[in-house]
Amino acid sequence: MTSADKRSNVREGGHSNGGGTVKGFVRKVHSPHPSLNDSLEGEIQAFLIDEDQLHTYDDLTKVNPVTPTTVLKCLQARYRVKVFYTHAGCTLVALNPFQPIPDLYTLDVMKEYHCAPQPQEFKPHIFIVAEEAYRNVQNQLEPVNQSLVVSGESGAGKTWTSRCLMKYYATVAAASSVVNSQDTVERIERRVLDSNPIMEAFGNACTLRNNNSSRFGKYIQLQLDRRQLLVGASVQTYLLEKTRVACQPANERNFHIFYQMLKGATDEQRKEWKMPCGKHFVWLPNSEKTVEEDSFQETVEAMVHLGIKAERQRQLFRILSGILQLGNLNFSSMDESQPCDLDEQSKDFLQRAADLLCVPAEELLTSLRVRTLKAGKQSVLKPCCRAECSMRRDCLAKVIYAQLFEWLVTFINNSICADKSTWCNFIGVLDVYGFECFQINNLEQLCINYANEKLQQHFVAHYLRAQQEEYVSEGLEWSFVKYQDNQSCLDLLEGSPVSVFSLLNEESRLNRASDAKTMKVRLEKELGNNANISWDKFSKQPHFTVAHYAGQVSYQIQGMVEKNKDPVPPELIKLLQESENSLLHHIFTDKETEIPTSKGLSKVTVVSKFKNSLERLMRILHTTTPHYTRCIKPNPDCKPLTFKKEEVIMQLEACGIVETIHISAAGFPIRIPFNGFMQRYGLIAKYSHVKSGIHSIDAGADYILQRGVENLLSVVSQHEAFDPLCEDNSGKHNSWVHCGRTKVFLTQLMLDFLEYQRKKVLCQCAFSIQCCWLRYQRRRRCARRLSATRIQAVVRSWLVRRQLQRWNRAAAVIQNTWRMWRALLKALAETELDDAKDLLEADVPQLNAIIRERGSVQLSFIQKPVSVRGWPLGLALASAPSITMSLTATGFQKMVSVMASLNLPSRRGEYKLEPNQYSQELASIRAQPKGSVKLHYRQSPLLYADRKPDMKSDMSGFNAILLEKSL
C-alpha cells in the first residue's frame, strides 16, 4: 500500500485569498464565498479551455484562478512537454521525470544561469534557487547564511536535486578562483563532490518506492570565504536506518555498498573477503536486481580522492564482508536452559566472520550464545535462547555498521572541512528521507515522518503563518489565507507533558520486557483525546494511526520499544575492542559500554537522540534564509514521463503548495528593515537627478527612517525605467512595494529593479572614480615623462661635455706626442742622412758601369745621369714620362732591392710619385732640377736595413721623399 492509497482523510477544503487596500499597497483579492461557486467554476473552465497555453505558465502565481485543479492542469501540461520545474511563489516545484535528462544539468547551463543579470527571467530551474541563495551571500543580505530545503516523498528526486545543488556550487564557487588558489579550490570542490557517492553507497538503499532511497538524513554546509569561494564543507547526519543491515523489508534491498562489493570485486578481492562467486548471503536479498548505483569502482575512486588509503580500505571491506558472514549464522536449540548451538552449515560462516573481524571464533560464539548479568559485585553467565542469540547477532552487525558509518562521516568532515578562520558564511543543503507509508511501519518510519513534520512546520511557521502575521503587525490590511497547520500532530508526537515519544522513552527506560498490548493501552489512556491519533479496534496486531500532514500512517507497536532501547550487549563491545583489525579496534575504543542494571536506566534512547539532533538542525534553519524546493513524485511506480493526477494532487495539498501560491501572489516575499534598506539603497536617491528631500538620517529615529524610505521609494517610482512596472500613474506607490512600520515589503520584481538602479548608480560612481583616477594617472605620467626628459637632457649634456673634455685631453696628448716624435725623427734623419755639403767634401767612390747605371737618375733637362745615393734602400724609378730614377742600395751586408714603377706627372714644378705595386711605400716625391737629392723617410731607414721585402711583406716608412739636385 502506497502513501497515496493511505491518504483518505486529507482535507479538500477551499482556499481563501487575502485582500485589502492600504497606503502604498494596492491589492484586490477576493475571498471565496458559497454564492460565488458558480462564477469560480466558470473562471476555471475559461482558464482551462485553452490547453495549448497551459504549459507556458512558468510561475503558478500567474494562474487565475488559483485552485488545485488549475495548478494540477498546468503542471500536467508542462510535464507533458518535458518541462519539469515550475515556480510556485517562494517555492520551486520539481517533478521527477524518472529518466536521465543530460542536457538539463550541463556545465554550460550552470554558467548561463550564473552569469545572467536576472536569472529569474530564465526558465524555472533548480539552478535559479541555487543562484539566488549564492547572490544573497554575495550581497550580504541578512540573514547571510542560506539553507536550501529539499523536501518531498520517497522517490520524488530529493537526492538527485541535492546532488545538482552541490555540483552547481562546486562549479560556480571554483570558477572565480584566482590562479594561485585554483588548484586548492579544485581539490576542495572535488572532495566535496566525492563525498556524495560514498555517503550514498553506505547510507542509501533500494526500496519499493525508490531505487536510491536515502536511509539517513544529511545537512551539508558548503563553507564560503569572504570572496564567496568554496573552501570547505561539513556533513551532519541524522538517524541512519541501521536495522536494514540485518532486516530488509520484502522486495527491498540492503545498503548499496554490499551489492557493489558483491558485483564489482575482483577475484583476488573475493578470495580475501571470502565471498566466492555464486555464494548466497541471507542479508543480501534481490541481489540479481541491478540499479545504477551498483558502481563499486566509483565508490573506491571517491575514497582515494578523499584520502582513504588502500590499507584502510582493505580493513573496511573486510569488516563489511564479516557482517555479511554473520547473516548466515543460524542457531538451533533443543533445551532453552542450555546455550544454543550453531547449525553445521553455520560453523564455516562463523570462522569466516571471526577471521574477517579479526576476533577469536570461540569468543565470538560465546558472546553470541551467553550473556552476562550483574548481581551486585558478581557476574552471572546465562545462556541465551534461540531468539536472543539471533537478536545479539543482529545487534552485533548493526552496531558495527553504525559505528563504521559514523567513522566515515567523521573522516569525510576531516577531509573537506575548512578551518573556522578561513570561512565566514555557508550555504546549507538539506536532504532528508521523504515521507513514508508502508504495509508495516515501525519506529524508523515514525522518526522519518516526524522529521518531515518538523520541516513542514518550519515552512508553515516561516512562510504561511509568520509572513501573514507580520503583514498585520506592519500595518497591511490583510485577510488571512487559511492553511493546514500540523502543530497538533507535532504536539501528539513530541509535546509536553505526555506524547508518543515521552511514553516510548518512559517504557524503554524501564528494566523490564516490553509488551505491545500494554503500550497500546497506555497510548489510548494518555492520548485518547487527541484528534490526530486513532486505533483500529478490529486489527489483530497492536498499532496506532497518526494523521500526518501528508496522510494517515499506521504504526506497529510490536518491537518499537526494543528498537527505541537499542541495547548493545557489553560482551560484544568488549570483543570488538580487542579486535586485531586496527579500524575496528579504533572505532570501538572510545565507545562507552552501557550496562543496565536492575536499578539503573538506559541513558539515551533512539527517539531522544534523534529528537535532539533534529532540534539542532531546526535551530540552524531558523537562523538562515530558507529556500524551498518541493519535489513531486508523478506516479507511484517510478515510470518515466507518467503523470498520475491522484498522486500529484495529494502531494500538492499535503505540502501546502496552493496556499503558498495564494500568499505569494498577494504578498511580499522580501522584507527589509528600514535601516538596512537605507544603507543599501539610499545612494539611489543621493545620486538621483530627482529632488528627494532626503537629508541626514538618524539610525535611531524610526520616524525619520520611515520618511527617508518613503522619499526614496518616491524617487524610484518617478524614474523613467519604472513606468512599465507601475499599475497606475497616480502619485501612490505601486503594488510591488509597501512601507510598513519598521520594514519595507518588496516583491521580487521590485527588488530586482532596486538592485538594477543600485548597480546603475554604482557603475556611474565607479565610472567617475575611474575617470578621476585615469586623469590623475595621465597627469602623473606626463609629469614623470617631462621630469625624465629633463633629467635625460642634463645627463646627456654632462656626458657629452665629459667626453669632449676627454677627447680634447687625448688629442692634446696625441699632438704633443706626435710633435715630439716628429722632432725626434727629424733630428734622427738629420744625423743619419748625408748632407749636400758632406757629399761635396766626401770622396765618392767609383762605381762600376752596372751600378752606376742602376744608381743614377736621368732627368729630361740634364744630359748626364744624376747619381743618387739611397740609404739604406735603393729605388728604381722607371716608366716616368719626364723623369726616370733608379736607386741602388750600397754599403750594406744585406742588399735590399725594391723595384717599382712610378708615374710622375708634372704639376706646378712638383713631381708626385705613385707606386704601382706597393701602395703604402712612397707617398710623394719632391724633385728639384738643381742641387743634390735627399730622401726623407717616415721612419729611420735603419729599421729596415736587415729586412728583405717581398710581395707579402708589409713595408712602410716612406712618407715623403725629397729629391734635391746633387752637385
Quick count: other Cβ atoms within 10 Å of Cβ 832? 14
Q: Residue holding cell 540479481?
A: 288
> Do residues 875 and 866 touch, judged by C-beta distance below 8 A?
no
The pLDDT of residue 863: 57
Query: Do the domain assignments include residue 782?
Result: no
The pLDDT of residue 200: 92
The pLDDT of residue 960: 37
3-state secondary structure (DSSP) of residue 2:
coil
724 shares its domain with 605: no
Of 755, 774, 807, the residue at which a domain comes to its end is: 755
Among candidate residues 434, 536, 645, 436, the one with its CA nearest the CA of residue 2: 436
C-alpha to C-alpha distance for 411 and 431, rounded to whole angstroms: 20
DSSP alpha helix (H) spans, 293-343: 296-306, 310-326
Per the annotation, does 853 bind a ligand? no
What's 157-174 look like in SS3?
A: CHHHHHHHHHHHHHHHHH
167 shares its domain with 310: yes
Query: Do the domain assignments include residue 852?
Result: yes
Q: What is the mean pLDDT of residues 654-673?
A: 76
402 shares its domain with 429: yes
Q: What is the mean pLDDT of residues 733-755?
A: 74
C-alpha to C-alpha distance for 947 and 894, rounded to whole angstroms: 8
404 shares its domain with 539: no
Residues 127-136: contacts with CB under 8 Å, at least 24 apart = 127/164, 127/168, 128/92, 129/92, 129/165, 129/627, 129/629, 130/165, 130/168, 130/169, 131/168, 131/172, 132/627, 133/427, 133/625, 133/627, 134/169, 134/172, 134/173, 134/228, 134/427, 136/625
C-alpha to C-alpha distance for 727 and 928, rounded to whole angstroms: 125
C-alpha to C-alpha distance for 903 and 878, rounded to whole angstroms: 8
Can you read off the three cell numbers belonging to residue 460?
A: 508553515
Q: pLDDT, tens digit, for every residue of 617-644?
A: 999 998 998 999 999 999 988 889 899 9
Query: Do the domain assignments include residue 646?
Result: yes
Q: Is the peptide bond before 102 cis (omega within 30 degrees of 0)?
A: no
Instruction: Give residue 681's domain range.
Output: 670-755
**Contacting residues for 421 by C-beta, under 8 A, at least 6 apart:** none
Residues 913-918: contacts with CB under 8 Å, at least 24 apart = 913/877, 913/961, 918/949, 918/955
Q: Residue holding cell 510598513?
A: 740
Query: Do the domain assignments include residue 660?
Result: yes
HSE at residue 315, side-chain half, CA atoms within 13 A, is: 18
Task: Quote the mean pLDDT of the chain.
Answer: 76
pLDDT at 168 over 90: yes
> Do residues 964 and 836 touch, judged by C-beta distance below 8 A?
yes
747 shares its domain with 654: no
The pLDDT of residue 352: 93
Of 613, 630, 650, the residue at which a domain comes to its end is: 613
**Contacting residues for 621 by C-beta, under 8 A, at least 6 apart:** 147, 149, 428, 430, 458
Query: Do the domain assignments include residue 470?
Result: no
Can you read off the three cell numbers belonging to residue 637?
A: 511506480
DSSP state of 153: B
Q: pLDDT, tens digit, for every residue of 502-515?
A: 999 988 888 777 78
To 5 degrees, how large is the angle CA 54–CA 56–CA 60? 75
Domain with residue 658: its CATH number is 3.40.850.10
Query: Do the domain assignments include residue 587?
Result: yes
842 shares its domain with 885: yes
Beta bridge partners of 876: 886, 899
371 shares its domain with 500: no
Per the annotation, does 158 bind a ligand? yes
Q: What is the mean pLDDT of residues 744-758?
A: 78
The pLDDT of residue 359: 94
Beta bridge partners of 822: none
**Contacting residues for 42 by C-beta, under 8 A, at least 6 apart:** none
Cα–Cα separations (whole angstroms), residue 256 to 201, 284, 289? 5, 10, 12
63 shares its domain with 78: yes
Cα–Cα separations (whole angstroms), residue 141 to 677, 709, 741, 748? 10, 18, 20, 14
Q: How many residues does the chain have?
A: 967
Query: Do the domain assignments include residue 779?
Result: no
Per the annotation, does 909 bind a ligand? no
Quick count: other Cβ atoms within 10 Å of Cβ 251? 11
The pLDDT of residue 424: 92
Quick count: other Cβ atoms within 10 Å of Cβ 117? 9
Q: pLDDT, tens digit, for every residue of 790-827?
A: 999 999 999 999 999 999 999 999 999 999 998 888 88
Least confident of 580-589, 749-758, 809-818: 749-758
The pLDDT of residue 19: 35
Can you read off the three cell numbers belonging to residue 963?
A: 729629391
926 shares its domain with 908: yes
> Do residues 376 and 192 touch, judged by C-beta distance below 8 A?
no
Q: What is the mean pLDDT of residues 35-61?
A: 69
C-alpha to C-alpha distance for 40 and 70, rounded to whole angstroms: 11
Can you read off the three cell numbers belonging to residue 515?
A: 509488551
Q: pLDDT, tens digit, for every residue of 910-943?
A: 444 444 333 444 434 444 344 444 444 444 444 4
**Contacting residues for 743 by C-beta, under 8 A, at least 6 apart:** 470, 474, 671, 672, 673, 674, 677
Quick count: other Cβ atoms within 10 Å of Cβ 666? 23
Quick count: other Cβ atoms within 10 Å of Cβ 107? 11
Beta bridge partners of 618: none
Per the annotation, does 153 bind a ligand? yes
> Do residues 544 and 533 touch, judged by C-beta distance below 8 A?
yes
Least confident of 83-87, 112-116, 152-156: 152-156
Among candidate residues 755, 618, 613, 733, the one with its CA nearest the CA of residue 684: 755
What's at 608, amino acid-wise?
S
342 shares its domain with 428: yes
Among candidate residues 168, 232, 167, the one with its CA nearest the CA of residue 193: 167
DSSP state of 538: T
436 shares its domain with 488: no
Query: Do the domain assignments include residue 600?
Result: yes
Per the annotation, does 159 bind a ligand? yes
The pLDDT of residue 313: 94
pLDDT band with cut points at 50, 70 and 90 for residue 474: confident
634 shares its domain with 609: no
- Tally of domains in the chain: 4
The pLDDT of residue 901: 37
pLDDT at 468 over 80: no
Of 755, 772, 787, the residue at which a domain comes to its end is: 755
C-alpha to C-alpha distance for 906 and 923, rounded to whole angstroms: 16
Can you read off the three cell numbers belonging to residue 565?
A: 532501547
Q: pLDDT, tens digit, for every residue of 90-148?
A: 889 999 999 988 889 999 999 999 998 888 888 999 999 999 999 999 888 778 899 99
C-alpha to C-alpha distance for 454 and 486, rounded to whole angstroms: 9
Provide the whole-model pTM.
0.68
By percentage, how much of the chain surpasses pLDDT 90? Answer: 33
The pLDDT of residue 874: 38
Among candidate residues 804, 963, 791, the one with its CA nearest the CA of residue 880: 963
Per the annotation, does 591 bind a ligand? no
Among candidate residues 87, 206, 280, 268, the one with its CA nearest the CA of residue 669: 87
At residue 678, φ and ψ (nearest 5 deg) are: -70, -35
